[in-house]
Amino acid sequence: MGPTDRQFGAVTVLVGDDNGKYPHGNSLLIRGREVTAVIDPSLSVVARAAELQGAADVVLQSHVHEDHVAGVHLFPKAKVYAHAQDAPGLRSLDGLMDIYGYGGLNAAMRQFVLDQFHYVARPDTHAFADGDVFTLGGTQVRAIHTPGHTRGHCVLLVEPEGVLFLGDIDLTGFGPYYGDAWSNLEDFERSLQTVRQIEARVWVSFHHTGVIEDRATFLHKLDRFANRIAEREAALLEFLAAPHSLAEMVRHRFLYRPHVDLPFIDAVERRTIEQHLERLIQRGQVERCAVDVYRRVDA
């Protein structure tokens, strides 16, 4: 156990490098009287392989993305669970590529997740549903479906400890990520409202923020996180004061900073922008003025 880990009853928060900054993450280890579970085994778990390899009977996934499954290979005998709508991404590498939906980038992404995140397919992955409970002995984990980041994204509530694992509702300054084929902006917004209503005493995000023990602090960070959606939309509307093509919007970047260089960024920017454009057009705030060219509608 590292010196920065946090303990809440049966729950250990395995704090990752830089407090779980991507590509690392903060994972949970839950030692019930009968069953030990790990939630979202990250590269931080991989770094502790000597201590943790084979130490869990059950692996639970908040969702299936490369950084959240990086340590699954350390638990070959464990039962692995993901929400039914994300389970295909663990059952095969093809399934994971479908979640991303990056098309021509698939070959590069395949190599990326294999080389950097130790991806190993688990065809035996079990599916769970909203409200399912995993009993570990003296403690339990309840899945609450919060789609948007992926179709099957869930937050996981550990009881009676009152620890709510937020997955990639990660409260970072980057804001909500809904840039994959299986992501959905409006589902994400509804899920943010769902999370507000869940009673908990401790909140754990996979990235950056880590452990929060005060509800007022959690709600403040949640509001700031959610507001990034409106900020992106406002920035897009400002940019469209003059007509611009979708390709120009992608190059402008509304999510990532210009210096960030990853193979999937253009695809993510495009998917994100397209979702905003769709609803701005529905609201009458943006119009298509040529093939793949858009402009703001000024009142």
Distances (CA, A) of 207 to 44, 107, 290: 11, 26, 40
In a domain, 234, yes or no: no
Residue 167 sits in the same domain as residue 283? no
Residue 274 sits in the same domain as residue 148? no
226: phi then psi, degrees, rounded to nearest 5: -65, -35
Residue 41 sits in the same domain as residue 162? yes
In a domain, 20, yes or no: yes
Predicted pLDDT at 260: 87
In a domain, 233, yes or no: no
In a domain, 121, yes or no: yes
Domain enclosing residue 261, as ranges: 240-296
Output the six-digit token pair for 149: 């980041």
CA distance 128 to 121: 18
CATH number of 267's domain: 1.10.10
DSSP H stretches of helix in 121-203 = 185-196
CATH number of 218's domain: 3.60.15.10
How would you write the pLDDT of the chain (299 residues) with one tens digit per residue?
444 899 999 999 999 998 899 999 999 999 999 999 999 999 999 999 999 999 999 999 999 999 999 999 999 999 999 999 999 999 999 999 999 999 888 888 999 999 999 999 999 999 999 999 999 999 999 999 999 999 999 999 999 999 999 999 999 999 999 999 999 999 999 999 999 999 999 999 999 899 999 999 999 999 999 999 999 999 999 999 999 999 999 999 999 998 888 878 999 999 999 999 999 999 999 999 999 999 999 95
Residue 42 sits in the same domain as residue 89? yes
Predicted pLDDT at 119: 98
Q: Are 129 and 143 in contact (CB under 8 A)?
A: yes
| Residue where one domain finishes, among candidates 227, 249, 279 | 227
Residue 259 sits in the same domain as residue 188? no
**Residues counted in the chain:** 299
Residue 214 sits in the same domain as residue 265? no
CA distance 20 to 5: 12
